[in-house]
């Protein structure tokens, strides 16, 4: 049995910018490719279970390219959710492990480290925003190590079991940054049209 863990990768962001305090929580991935769709899956669960202040935007970003720059420029905080690739097939990053990457982790290497299939575009967008003087002060990638990316497949059991832990990581980051949210007394039905057997966290 796979036991999911949460491990923080890198230190906390210490940038001293002072933009308007807005946050974007974005799910990244292709919902038709198994575990690659964990980002949009969690975003829909999150918005079905919680309400957020108007300065927090929740969005399914799909599989973004460099057009992501205009969505993140000028933000105070950016939280992205995506499936990530195992860094070492023989290491501790088993499917379902939650890994937390800070802004400096995403920008520390050129070319960008391949945390997930979309990280090169994410890193380039952060670099572009930085060159424009509009890089988010805080950026966090909540990565879930994937297992299966078969076309038409649902989330693997290992990833489904860790969804609650990843959502908790998102909420802890919002709380740390001072953004308010409230749990709904009765959750809405998640709009997860591609996965009728979705879980309830």
Checking if the pLDDT of 109 tops 60, the result is: no
The kind and range of the H/E element at 183 are strand 181-183
Residue ranges making up the domain that contains 69:
19-179
Dihedral of alpha carbons 151, 156, 160, 162, sign: negative
Q: Which residue reads 């990833």 in tokens?
A: 159
Q: Tell me the pLDDT of the chain averaged across its residues.
A: 82
Domain assignment present for 124: yes
User: Please, which residues have CB within 8 angstroms of residue 186's CB and are 6 or more apart in sequence?
Assistant: none
Q: Is residue 198 in a domain?
A: no
Q: How far apart are the first and last CA of the chain?
A: 20
Asked if the structure places residue 11 within a domain, the reply is no
Q: Decide the pairing of beta strands 138-145 and 98-102.
A: antiparallel
Flag whether 190 is in a domain.
no
Percent of the chain whose predicted confidence (pLDDT) is above 90: 50
| Residue where the block lists tokens 């297992």 | 147
Average pLDDT over residues 172-184: 96
User: Using one digit for the tens of pLDDT, what is the confidence trace for 113-154?
Assistant: 445 555 557 778 888 888 888 889 999 999 999 999 899 899
2 occurs within a structural domain: no
Counting the structural domains of the chain, the total is 1
Quote the Cα angle for 22-109-23, to 5°.
Answer: 5
DSSP for 99-135 reads EEEEHHHHHSSSSPP-SSTTHHHHHHHHHHHHHTT--
């Amino acid at each position: 049995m796979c036991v999911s863990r949460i491990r923080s990768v890198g230190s906390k962001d210490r940038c001293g910018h002072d933009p308007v305090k807005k946050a974007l929580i974005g799910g990244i991935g292709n919902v038709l490719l198994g575990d690659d769709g964990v980002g949009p899956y969690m975003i829909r669960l999150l918005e079905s279970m919680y309400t957020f202040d108007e300065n927090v935007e929740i969005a399914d970003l799909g599989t973004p390219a460099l057009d992501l720059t205009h969505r993140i420029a000028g933000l105070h905080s950016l939280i992205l959710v995506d499936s990530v690739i195992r860094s070492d097939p023989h290491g501790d990053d088993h499917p379902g492990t939650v890994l937390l990457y800070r802004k400096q982790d995403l920008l520390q290497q050129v070319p960008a480290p391949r945390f997930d299939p979309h990280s090169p575009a994410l890193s380039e967008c952060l670099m572009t925003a930085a060159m424009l003087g509009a890089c988010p002060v805080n950026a966090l990638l909540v990565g879930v190590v994937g297992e299966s990316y078969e076309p038409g497949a649902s989330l693997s059991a290992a990833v489904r079991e860790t969804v609650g832990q990843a959502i908790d990581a998102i909420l802890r980051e919002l709380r740390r940054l001072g953004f308010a949210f409230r749990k709904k007394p009765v959750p809405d039905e998640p709009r997860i049209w591609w996965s009728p057997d979705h879980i309830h966290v």
